[in-house]
Structure 1
Amino acid sequence: MDSLGSLGVFVRAGEARSFTVAGQQLGISSSAVSKAIVRLEARLGVRLFHRSTRNVSLTPEGALFLERCRRILGEVEAAEMELSQTQSAPRGKLRISLPSIGTPFMNRLAEFKRRYPEVELEIDCTDRLVEVIEEGFDAVIRTGEPNDSRLMSRTIGSFRLVMVGSPDYFRRAGLPREPEDLAGHDRLLYRYPNTGKLQPWPLCRDGQPAGIGAERQASMVTNTLEPQVCFAEQGLGIACVPDISIRRQLDDGTLVSVLDDYNQDRTMLRVLWPSSRQLSPKLRAFVDFIAGSPLAA
C-alpha cells in the first residue's frame, strides 16, 4: 500500500508538472511530495524528474513510468469502484468547475446537495479554460466542442447569445433595428480569458456576418459575465450574453433583447470528465442529475 501511495503522489506530480500543485491536490506539503518522489527514485534506481529552482519536468523515463502508473492506478480504482457500486450511496468530495455561464446551475447544485448530502461539493467558478486532469477536477461544465481526447462528455443542453440593454438605455440611445445601428451605441464587451480576444457578436444577414467590429464603441471590456449583466441593467450600454444567464431579467423586463432576427446562434453545453476515471457513484449521480437540469435545456 505504501508503494501505491508513492505511485499516486508521482502521478499527481507528473500530471501537474509541479510538486506544489500536487501537494495542494493531495492535501500535503510540497516538501512531502518531493520526499516521496526521492524515495521512489531511490527504490527504482532512476531519475523521474528534472528539477530546477523554477519548475520540474519529467525525464523520458519518468514520462514512460507515468503512463504505466496511470494504468496501474486505473485498474486499482476500477476494482475499488466495482466494490463500492455494490454498497454505499454517493459520498466523498466531488470537485467540479463551471464557467460564469454556469451560475444558473447553482439552484440545481443546491438540490443535488440536498439529494446527496454525503457528497462534499468543491465548486470552482471561472471563465478560464481549466486543465481538467492536471488540476484534479472530477467533472467540468463547458461550452462548445470538446477538444481533449482524454475526456468523456455528455451534452446537457444549449443556449443562445442575445444582445440586451435596459429599457432606460434604449429610451435614451434609441432601439437598434439593423446590425449597422450598433455603430451609434455603447457596447459592453467580453474578452476570452485564455486567448485575450474579444468575443464576436453573432449577427448575420443572409448567412454573412453583419454589424461592426468588436473593438468599436466599447463602453466596457470584461473577462467574466457578471459585470456585463450589471452594467446592462444599469443602462450603460448593450451586452451580448447567454440567454440562460438573464432569464429573470428578460421575464421582469429589466433587460430587453434586440436584433433577434439577425441572431440564430446556438452554443452547446456539456459535462466532461476524465475518460481514465471510473464513474464512481458520486460522479455518476452528478452527471445524470446535471444532464436532467431544466436550466440546461
Structure 2
Amino acid sequence: MNWFDTVEFPKDGDGCRWDSTPHDPVIRVRLQGVGHVRVHQHRPVRGRVKTVSVKREGRRWYVILSCNDVPAEPLPATGAVTGIDMGITHFLTTSQGEHQPNPRHGKRTADSLAEAQRALKAFPRRKREQRTAKHRRAVEKVAALHRKVRRRRRDHAHKTALAMVRTYDVIAHERLSIANMARAPKPRPDPETLGGFLPNGAAAKAGLNNSIHDVGWGVFLGILAHKAESAGRKLIPVDPRNTSRTCPRQLCGHASAENRPTQDKFCCAHCGYTDHADRVGALNVAIRAGLVLPDVA
C-alpha cells in the first residue's frame, strides 16, 4: 500500500463501484478486496460516473470521479465582453482596467517551506519503509505545506474564474506557452577560457520562473475553460506577442519596445497615448479576438 498514492479504476463497476443509491444520506464507494467505505461528499455528482480514482494525500484519502453526460447550466446573458492580460504584478487585468491582485501563495509560504525542507535534509536518504517516526513527520510536514499552497492557488483560481464567467459573455485571453516562458536560459560558453561560461542571467531568470509558477496561469486558464463551457460562455485565445507594446488606438497601432518605458507604464512613441501597460495588453487581446470595444480615446 505504501508504494502507490493513486489507484485509478478505468470503469465504474470494474473493481470499484460508486454507490448511487437515491435518497440515501450515507454515500459509499465499494472497493474490491476492501468492501464499502463511507465517503464525505462535498457536492452532488452530476452526469454518469466514468472512472473512479482513489488518491492519498498525507494521511487523508480522496475519491475522484470523472463523469460523462454532465448537464450544462448556462448563465443568463450579460452582454459584456472583455480581454484579459495575465501578469505577475497583477494576477490579471481586464480591458475595462480592473486589476486582480496576485495573492503570491507560494511566496507567502516560502519561509515555512524552506525551514521544513532544511529539517528534512538533516535526515539521511532512506527507503520509505526504513524511515523513522521523526523522518516521516518531517516528510509529512513538507508535503502538507506544498498541499496548502496548491489548494489555496486552486481556490483563488476557482473564485476568480467564477466571477469572470458570471460577468462576461465572451472572454479573450492570451494563448500562453508557460513551459517556454519558464525555461531556464542556455549556458553561454566562454571562448577565452577552457570550460568556462559567461553570465547568462540564470539567477534572475530563476526568480522570474518561480514567480511564473507561483501565479498559476495554467491552473486558472484550465478552470476558466471548464467553467465557461458549463456556463455557456465563449473563450477566445489569441497570440500574446507584443500585446503590451502595441498602441491600441485604431488609427495608430504602433508596436515598439520604446512604447513601454517601465514595467507599468505605456506611452506610445508615435501618437503619445498613455495608459497602464497591463490594460493596454488586455485591450489588444480583446482587439485581436475581434471583440467590439469602445474606441480608445
The TM-score with structure 1 as length reference comes to 0.26
Q: Which has the higher contact order (CA 8 A, sep 6+)?
A: 1
- Return the structure number with greater helix share: 1
The TM-score with structure 2 as length reference comes to 0.26
